[in-house]
Structures are given as C-alpha cells and as structure tokens.
C-alpha cells in the first residue's frame, strides 16, 4: 500500500507543479505501449494473450479506444504489473531534472535577493543613523 501512496503523491506532484496535464486515457495509452514494448510483445501477441483484436490494442495505444476494467486486469496480468501502474504518469528523468533545476534556481534567486535586500537595508539604516 505504501508504494501506491508514494506513486499517487508523485502523480499529484507531477501534475500540479507546472507540467502539462494529460488525461487518463493518454496516460494509459502511453503506459500500455511502453510496457508492451519493454516485455518484447508485438501488438498481435499481446492481443492474443488478452483475447482481443490487434486493432483494439492499436487503438488503445493511441487513446482512441478504452478498455473495460476486466480487460485492464487481463492486460496488467499479462504485462506483469499492478493495474494502477497502467494509469500512473511517471515523468522522464530529463523532465524531472529540468523541474528540479527550475525549482532550485528560483529558490536560490529568492534567497540571494532577500540577502541583498537585507544587506542594503542595513547599510541604508546605518548611513541614515550616522548622518
């Protein structure tokens, strides 16, 4: 259960921290195609294993057709993943690094700006007091 919570938090983080939102069908389509290829299955082989047409698999992979829940369960079993993994958008490492870089850059800019402001403010106060 812990991994589901972590994945859910990652999903929420990914969507609401400036990334373009995708709908659930696009996420499913992307994950289906990626996992199928990672397992070395052709569309025809996966279709045969889950008892649907190759055309149906192809249409799901481009988010034109959407599977019934029973089919999602069969696909997950054949691909050896948990059902929820088909619906999680895991950002690529470069996107995560870019987001991290932007966040760190903003934080550094803010901290440096506040430090400069503080120093200038103190400097101005000391000059005003001396005069």
pLDDT per residue over 8-48, tens digit each?
444 444 444 444 556 889 999 999 999 999 999 999 999 99
10 and 71 housed in the same domain: yes
Domain range for 111 is: 92-131
Q: What does the alpha-carbon distance between residue 117 and residue 21 come to, in Å, rounded to a whole number?
A: 37
69 and 32 housed in the same domain: yes
pLDDT in tens, 36-82: 999 999 999 999 999 999 999 999 999 999 999 999 999 999 999 99
73 and 109 housed in the same domain: no
Looking up residue 47, the CATH number of its domain turns out to be 1.10.260.40
61 and 117 housed in the same domain: no
52 and 6 housed in the same domain: yes
59 and 119 housed in the same domain: no
Number of domains in the chain: 2
110 and 56 housed in the same domain: no
Range picked from 17-21, 79-83, 102-106, 123-127 for highest mean pLDDT = 79-83
86 and 110 housed in the same domain: no
State the virtual CA torsion across 78, 83, 88, 93 in degrees, nearest 10: -40
């Amino acid at each position: 259960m812990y991994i589901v919570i972590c994945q859910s938090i990652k999903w929420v983080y990914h969507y609401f921290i400036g990334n373009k939102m995708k709908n659930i069908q696009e996420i499913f389509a992307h994950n289906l195609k990626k996992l199928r290829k990672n397992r070395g299955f052709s569309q025809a082989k996966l279709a045969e294993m889950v008892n649907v047409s190759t055309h149906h698999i192809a249409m799901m992979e481009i988010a034109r057709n959407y599977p019934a829940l029973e089919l999602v369960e069969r696909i997950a079993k054949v691909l050896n993943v948990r059902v929820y993994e088909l619906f999680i958008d895991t950002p690529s490492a470069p996107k995560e690094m870019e987001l991290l870089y932007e966040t760190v850059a903003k934080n550094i800019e803010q901290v440096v700006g506040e430090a400069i402001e503080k120093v200038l403010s103190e400097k101005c106060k000391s000059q005003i007091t001396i005069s």
